[in-house]
Structure 1
Amino acid sequence: MVKFYSSLILLFFFTFGIKSQEGVPVYFDYLTENYYLVHPSMAGVNLVGGKLRMTARKQWFDQVEAPELQTLTADLRLTERSGIGVTAFNDQNGYHSQKGIYLTYAHHINFNDDIVLSKRPYPSKYDEIDQLSFGISVGGIQNSLDQTSFDLFDPDPLISGLLENTGYFNMDVGMSYVNSKYYAHLTIKNLLFSPHNMYGDFEYDYPRDKTSFRRLVASLGYIFYTDRPWSFEPSVLFQVSELTKEKAIDTNFKAYYKLNSGRLWAGLSFRNSFEGAEYLDSDTGELKQQTLQLITPLFGIDFKDFVFSYNYSHQFGDINFGSGGFHQITIGFNFLRGSIDCDCF
């Protein structure tokens, strides 16, 4: 058994050497009790039953062809050591879009043999969870470029005037450690390198190590329980892109209030990028730099088996694409938890 676990760890770190492309964007969906969307090792992390989450995100309502994203995730604990999941998404940005579906398997190692299986969809101070998990997601993605509305009266040899599609396979791997008070996740996204020539063959004249879209995502969090109905959860999420060297960190804080049949919660997230884009100030003629800074208030409710959440992201800085912000709604359902015959909320 020790040899098996060692092999899992070696396989996880070996995949650092594999190349890949983009997939599901990392926004703030994970803060709605949906870390599985980012970390495949969280598939089936619940000790009993599963979770279904649907998210819709829309940016800049005052802009035509503004980015929007829809995701659907479902994950389920199959056995004491096995979890499965599925993720489907539709990501649109102007004339470009991508659609995809991922299938996930996660292996869970429980260090507490005396644990009582909890039916609640989230941890509480009464749980004794002590779990190490490994996960892998494999999926297919279709990229589309809609050139049908481009100006064909001004011919350009690079414009076909058609709806072009191309596809590739992708893979994410991750590992997590979770107990009732704190958690840590590490995931490498976009491992499989599958070049496509939608934008011209010349784009791939570079060596393979110059076209890697691997992204490293790491999360840490701690839950503070009190003797009252309140609990508090500070957390951070760090991500870095290998190709562009872009780095960003989310600093999050959530507060929960326990109800008889669920809980209310609210929070605040601040995303700050480490690199910035240069621009010329039209008033002073000075060359300036601006980093991406987003502040995101969020709130939600868990009522029995149902979940609802809303968040709004506001971008700081002198240069913005529009006056509108980033709206996101999540609805969810927790299933196959059995009858509730205990204080499971």
Structure 2
Amino acid sequence: MAKKNTLTVILFVLMSFLASAQEGLPIYTDYLTDNYYLIHPSMAGAANCAKVRLTGRQQWFGHENAPKLLTLSANSRIGDSQSGIGGIVFADENGYHSQKGAYFTYAHHLMFSRSEVDLNMLSFGLSAGFIQYQLDETSFLFDGPDPIVSGGVESATNFNIDFGFSYHYLDFYLHGTVKNVLENSGVNNDLSITSNMRRYLFSTGYVFNKYGSSWSFEPSIMFQLRELTQEAAIDLNAKAYKTMDFGRIWAGLSYRKSFDGAEYVNDGNSIDSQTLNQITPILGINYNNLMFAYNYSHQIDDVVFTNGGFHQITIGFNFNCRRARYECNCPAVN
């Protein structure tokens, strides 16, 4: 492929990262490391244990200003009540853009089963928080004065909310969340670009287990849609769990496909297009109350910024655990 064509697609990829740099907490595959609360506020306090999760993600090792993300989340049921609370703090750097944020969550869980043995629960959650955006223009190169380039560090702090629901019925689950419900100006005050950062997320899955077996299997999907640009993507996921004396070991595979892409002229001077196609293997272990997971995302398109992938490590701790009340294979809850 000609150099100029490669640069065209690379520029599209980079602009896609920058376009999402002001949307709050980025959505990767963190939720698959026993951390659905990170994207669905209705999961705060849904599990039998209080959970703390620390995640670090680094993209494109060896490249200056490559995207990186650090998140810390915690959530718990409030005593024996039907309410749960949670909190998330994160720091995200993406080239010249960076953002820091903190959310607080309240969730309420309604039980419809006659007893807690059979899981039939509907949950609602609301997260509210502040996000500080920064755009560092000190190293921008331009010829002469430019009204949209200040040459300094632009910053803005905005308030926003996320709202969602979850439904668990035995081994089945369904989540839906609206992120960035409110409109605001963002860091560059361009209302046509940043006024609407609303994003819709839907997740569903089922855990299969043969009676008496120590193995269980969980296929799931996650669909996301950005309202302003109508950009959409889907995750197709599969996980396998093995129950051990000390806890559980598990592994999974996630495939993300975007429905939007870039067009370019190939070597034959015809027009081709490319969408985001990303595959992520996941390995994890629950040892008593500790959890450790690693995943590696690799973009499998023809034209990429670099052959290097995206590394992510998650460390977790469960505490204030109650007994596993439900007769179901539901690792996110039981």
Q: What is the match of residue 108 of structure 1?
A: 109
Q: What is the match of residue 135 of structure 1?
A: 125
Say whether the 8 Å CA contact 1:235–1:253 is kept in structure 2: yes
User: Does the residue aligned with 2:61 lie in a helix, a strand or coil?
Assistant: coil
The separation in 1 between residues aligned to 2:203 and 2:140, in whole angstroms, is 42
Matches within 5 A, 1:308-319: 308-319=292-303
AA aligned to 1:111 is F
> Offset at 1:114?
2.4
Matches within 5 A, 1:119-134: 128-134=118-124
> Offset at 1:180?
3.4
Q: What is the match of residue 299 of structure 1?
A: 283
Structure 2 CA distance for partners of 1:338 and 1:221, relative to 1, 3 Å: closer
The separation in 2 between residues aligned to 1:312 and 1:280, in whole angstroms, is 31
> Offset at 1:339?
8.9
**Deviates further, 143-152 or 84-93:** 143-152
AA aligned to 1:40 is P
Within the alignment, does 1:179 sit opposite 2:169 as a pair? yes
Q: What is the match of residue 10 of structure 1?
A: none
- 1:210-265 CA-partner distances (Å, limit 9, x unpaired): 94211110000000112221000000000111111111110100000000120000
5+ residue gaps, structure 2, are 1-21, 325-330
AA aligned to 1:223 is V
> Offset at 1:74?
0.2
Q: What is the match of residue 237 of structure 1?
A: 222
> Offset at 1:156?
3.4
Q: What is the match of residue 163 of structure 1?
A: 153
Q: What is the match of residue 31 of structure 1?
A: 32
Of 320, 323, 327, the residue aligned with 2:307 is 323
Matches within 5 A, 1:44-193: 44-47=45-48, 49-78=49-78, 79-115=80-116, 128-151=118-141, 154-157=143-146, 158-193=148-183
- 1:122-156 CA-partner distances (Å, limit 9, x unpaired): xxxxx53221000000000000011233348x443
> Offset at 1:284?
2.0
What's the TM-score once normalised by structure 1's chain length?
0.83
The separation in 2 between residues aligned to 1:168 and 1:188, in whole angstroms, is 17
> Offset at 1:279?
1.8
The separation in 2 between residues aligned to 1:62 and 1:277, in whole angstroms, is 26
User: Does the residue aligned with 1:257 lie in a helix, a strand or coil?
Assistant: strand
Within the alignment, does 1:249 sit opposite 2:234 as a pair? yes
What's the TM-score once normalised by structure 2's chain length?
0.86
The separation in 2 between residues aligned to 1:37 and 1:184, in whole angstroms, is 15
> Offset at 1:194?
1.3
- 1:183-209 CA-partner distances (Å, limit 9, x unpaired): 00010111011114x43x5x22x4x9x
- 1:157-195 CA-partner distances (Å, limit 9, x unpaired): 233232221110011000010133010001011101111
The separation in 1 between residues aligned to 2:322 and 2:37, in whole angstroms, is 22
AA aligned to 1:159 is V
Aligned length: 303
Q: What is the match of residue 335 of structure 1?
A: 319
Say whether the 8 Å CA contact 1:62–1:323 is kept in structure 2: no
Structure 2 CA distance for partners of 1:228 and 1:161, relative to 1, 3 Å: same
> Offset at 1:106?
0.2
- 1:32-75 CA-partner distances (Å, limit 9, x unpaired): 1110001000000013x310001111111132111111111100
Of 268, 274, 279, the residue aligned with 2:259 is 274
Q: What is the match of residue 219 of structure 1?
A: 203
The separation in 1 between residues aligned to 2:163 and 2:302, in whole angstroms, is 38
> Offset at 1:311?
0.5
User: Does the residue aligned with 1:224 lie in a helix, a strand or coil?
Assistant: coil
The separation in 1 between residues aligned to 2:72 and 2:133, in whole angstroms, is 18
CA RMSD of aligned residues (A): 2.1
The separation in 2 between residues aligned to 1:267 and 1:170, in whole angstroms, is 33
> Offset at 1:319?
1.3
